[in-house]
Amino acid sequence: MKQLILVDHITIGDFGFHGYLTEMVDGNIGFGIFVDRLKRPLLWFIQLPNNRIQLCLDDDLATYIRKKASADKAEREHNFRLFLYFVRENERKAAYMAFKGKQMEHLTTSKHLVALRKMYLAD
């Protein structure tokens, strides 16, 4: 996955999150949210043949973020809300810039939200 255009960025807690339009291995345009300077995205959207956009999550990277986070549980809850807002805004931008007219899976309505929340807020 090649990062093409930086769409947005935010620092939340100990981490910087960067939303990029990407070129996928198959040549299609995608979108990913990357953490700091890591090469793998935490979340990314891929185009499926049936005109749908699927959301994918890197569970290992989510676990890494949880282990490296220095915030207490209350701060992590606040940080998670900020992260969700950032993701929602970037989903809108990606839908407009790269996925017009396609059915997009969103984090707030996906099974990934529950898994990501559990991983990040666990004690």
Q: Can you give the residue range of the structural domain that contains 82?
A: 2-121
Helix extents (H) in 1-123: 59-68, 73-97, 111-121
For residue 71, what pLDDT is reported? Answer: 87
For residue 31, what pLDDT is reported? Answer: 95
Amino acid, res. 119: M
For residue 107, what pLDDT is reported? Answer: 84
Question: In percent, how much of the chain has pLDDT > 90?
Answer: 55
| CA nearest to 13, candidates 59, 88, 70, 74 | 70
Q: Is the pLDDT of residue 123 over 80?
A: no
For residue 93, what pLDDT is reported? Answer: 93
Instruction: Output the CA torsion 25→29→31→35 (10° steps).
Output: 40
For residue 51, what pLDDT is reported? Answer: 87
| CA nearest to 33, candidates 94, 77, 82 | 94
Over residues 51-78, the pLDDT tens digits come to 899 999 998 998 888 888 888 989 999 9
Tokens 């707030």 correspond to: 108
Q: Is the pLDDT of residue 9 over 80?
A: yes
pTM of the predicted model as reported, rounded to 2 decimal places = 0.89
Domain count, the chain: 1
Class of residue 106 by CB neighbours under 10 A (exposed 0-12, middle 13-18, buried 19+): middle
